[in-house]
Chain A
């Protein structure tokens, strides 16, 4: 028998201000003990999805349940059943690390007899024992995040939500954070739902990934499935602005599967990239089009993202998606007022 599903989401939709479809008919299943990643640019709908799954925001339509508990009908039970690490820092600056944990233990009604032992274990495990009695305002970014993780799992939740947990951390802090999450999964079998816009993290850590863009899941699968679906290697050539279109010529070359052109950039998919590079370069030279750069890429999630959303992942951060994020935030703010 297969592993039962922990998170079940069907047609989940959230519309802000009757206009902005921040999350638009999202459906997926997360198996028990699995680490499931939501990958997408800022404003794609990741945090809105997490808010709905953690009973912080009512869905406009659709259903979601966690281990059989409906997120709309039983918000109290959901809150007891899950742990959350928010995107923004949420530790209390004026309290010590230990006091933050004691507060959380009180709010989750951790039995008093177990509270002290559990706090000590968590402080030890997160390497915060030495700093436990210092105020959080003196903590580094990595320490804060580890404390917030400890606060999130004080009640040993079977399901853990991590919303952009490593945003703003240095590589060392990120590596450290994930090490604790992985340890938690090994020790407790915790189901983890994580949103991120770090492709490498999703690639290395998640069992399965959904790529979300403009509120919709555009692709889902294991990281290798997603990469394989892109198909083979990709040669990227940057030509010059006002040169003739070389798409037909490139498409006719042996071994080339497809050619996409975006302004002066060509993406040439082929089964064996190394073998195809000389012919591609030759085609540019023959047409007299100067080349600014030639790159050969093995399939990465970056490529997968480009394939499914039609936009490069990194360039998205400053462009269209940020505008979208700003619009969604504005509507959210207006609603709250």
Chain B
């Protein structure tokens, strides 16, 4: 199992390494969001120069974050961990079309190794990318004149671990989801149509972009079950500790873990079915 897993994981990593365009493309979107989109919102200027929005009111709407960019960039960290997993499922479909999956299935490699290698190698890139976006968000706020991510408190070791685990879990969950779609579907067109239909609703029913304080109650209810919200809240509560959160960070993290475990189980079952002899 370990021998087959490492052989397959090596193949996945070699392929990622040999496709620098894909890495560049997946970096481009978050960078655009951070350097343009996020810079365009300064809610403290809503009242005009004569009556700026008081910092306290703003911070309350932003769950303790000092400004919109700080709040939003954490949302982007989670969302990048989601969008960068997109290609994992597409690669399964292309491997089907190019006969590579068929050849892999013809070897005695266990289905768990075939699925597991893709899950681990597939989740690695989004995790690294999300950490990069987190670092970049903090870096661009340091003396550049640009808005950046400013944590309001020092995040201790536990906080750092919680943040990293949240990123790993959200990436694992969505890698599982997209891998499952890749194993089940045959056509890249169908896959991309489905993924596009999934992506934005997932983003727009979370609190990644909207200030929590401006969201209507029904959207808050929906958002509190959204795995992106759970990941984002885990991170925000560690970066901007405040009494504004309904639950401690560890509860959000636990909810996210349930989502990830559920999705991994479903994906494993679907992959196993797709990898066994056709009935």
Q: Which residues of A contact B (CB under 8 A)?
A: 51, 54-58, 75-76, 79-80, 84, 86, 88-90, 92-95, 99, 102-109, 135, 151, 333, 335-337
List of A residues within 8 angstroms of B15 by Cβ: 92, 94-95
Cβ of B278 and Cβ of A335 under 8 Å apart?
A: yes
List of B residues within 8 angstroms of A88 by Cβ: 98-99, 102
Closest Cβ of chain A to B214, distance in Å, is: 43
Given contacts A56-B102, A93-B98, 10 further A-B contacts (CB under 8 A): A54-B106, A88-B99, A89-B99, A95-B15, A102-B7, A106-B7, A107-B4, A109-B3, A109-B4, A336-B278
Cβ of A86 and Cβ of B7 under 8 Å apart?
A: no
Closest Cβ of chain A to B87, distance in Å, is: 13
Question: What are 6 A-B contacts with C-beta separation under 8 Å?
Answer: A51-B278, A58-B278, A79-B108, A106-B4, A107-B4, A336-B186
Shortest Cβ distance from B185 into A: residue: A337
Cβ of B3 and Cβ of A90 under 8 Å apart?
A: no
Cβ of B7 and Cβ of A58 under 8 Å apart?
A: no
Shortest Cβ distance from A93 into B: residue: B98
Whole-angstrom CA separation of A251 from B18 in the bound complex: 70
Report if B277 contacts A (CB, 8 A): yes
Cβ of B277 and Cβ of A57 under 8 Å apart?
A: yes
Whole-angstrom CA separation of A57 from B14 in the bound complex: 31
Report if B189 contacts A (CB, 8 A): no
Cβ of B18 and Cβ of A107 under 8 Å apart?
A: no
Whole-angstrom CA separation of A36 from B274 in the bound complex: 31
Which of B11, B102, B186 is the one whose CB lies under 8 Å from A95?
B11
Cβ of A56 and Cβ of B7 under 8 Å apart?
A: no
Shortest Cβ distance from A52 into B: residue: B277
Which of B4, B14, B102, B106 is the one whose CB lies under 8 Å from A99?
B14
Cβ of B7 and Cβ of A103 under 8 Å apart?
A: yes
Interface string of B98-136 (1 = CB under 8 A from A): 111011111111000000000000000000000000000
Report if B50 contacts A (CB, 8 A): no
Which of B4, B14, B99 is the one whose CB lies under 8 Å from A90?
B99
Whole-angstrom CA separation of A105 from B6 in the bound complex: 12
Cβ of B4 and Cβ of A94 under 8 Å apart?
A: no
Whole-angstrom CA separation of A135 from B109 in the bound complex: 24
Report if B8 contacts A (CB, 8 A): yes
Chain B residues 21 to 53 lying within 8 A of chain A, measured CB to CB, are: none
Size of interface on B: residues with Cβ below 8 Å to A: 26
Which of A75, A84, A103 is the one whose CB lies under 8 Å from B8?
A103
Closest Cβ of chain B to A63, distance in Å, is: 15
Cβ of B278 and Cβ of A57 under 8 Å apart?
A: yes
Q: Which residues of B contact A (CB under 8 A)?
A: 3-4, 6-8, 10-11, 14-15, 18-19, 98-100, 102-109, 186, 277-279
Cβ of A106 and Cβ of B104 under 8 Å apart?
A: no
Closest Cβ of chain A to B118, distance in Å, is: 14
Cβ of B19 and Cβ of A94 under 8 Å apart?
A: yes
Q: Which 6 pairs from chain A and chain B are nearest by CB?
A: A106-B7, A90-B99, A90-B103, A107-B107, A88-B99, A79-B108
Whole-angstrom CA separation of A337 from B102 in the bound complex: 16
Whole-angstrom CA separation of A108 from B11 in the bound complex: 15
Whole-angstrom CA separation of A89 from B277 in the bound complex: 20
Cβ of B277 and Cβ of A56 under 8 Å apart?
A: yes
List of B residues within 8 angstroms of A337 by Cβ: 186
Cβ of B278 and Cβ of A107 under 8 Å apart?
A: no
Whole-angstrom CA separation of A80 from B4 in the bound complex: 13
Cβ of B106 and Cβ of A56 under 8 Å apart?
A: yes
Closest Cβ of chain B to A252, distance in Å, is: 55
Cβ of B108 and Cβ of A107 under 8 Å apart?
A: yes
Shortest Cβ distance from A104 into B: residue: B107
User: Which of B14, B15, B108, B109 neighbours the largest number of chain A CB atoms within 10 Å of its CB?
Assistant: B108
Cβ of A106 and Cβ of B3 under 8 Å apart?
A: yes
List of A residues within 8 angstroms of B279 by Cβ: 58
List of A residues within 8 angstroms of B103 by Cβ: 84, 86, 90, 151
Query: Given that A56-B277, A107-B108 are known contacts, is A90 also in contact with B19, CB under 8 Å in the complex?
Result: no
Whole-angstrom CA separation of A89 from B97 in the bound complex: 10
List of B residues within 8 angstroms of A54 by Cβ: 106
Cβ of B277 and Cβ of A92 under 8 Å apart?
A: no
Cβ of A108 and Cβ of B107 under 8 Å apart?
A: yes
Query: Given that A57-B277, A335-B278, A336-B186 are known contacts, is A106 also in contact with B99, CB under 8 Å in the complex?
Result: no
Cβ of B102 and Cβ of A92 under 8 Å apart?
A: no
List of A residues within 8 angstroms of B4 by Cβ: 106-107, 109
Which of A57, A58, A103, A333 is the one whose CB lies under 8 Å from B186?
A333
User: Which of A92, A151, A336 neighbours the largest number of chain B CB atoms within 10 Å of its CB?
Assistant: A92
Shortest Cβ distance from B105 into A: residue: A56
Cβ of B107 and Cβ of A58 under 8 Å apart?
A: no
Whole-angstrom CA separation of A247 from B273 in the bound complex: 58
Cβ of B8 and Cβ of A107 under 8 Å apart?
A: yes
Closest Cβ of chain B to A151, distance in Å, is: 8
Query: Given that A93-B98, A337-B186 are known contacts, is A55 also in contact with B3, CB under 8 Å in the complex?
Result: no
Closest Cβ of chain A to B261, distance in Å, is: 28
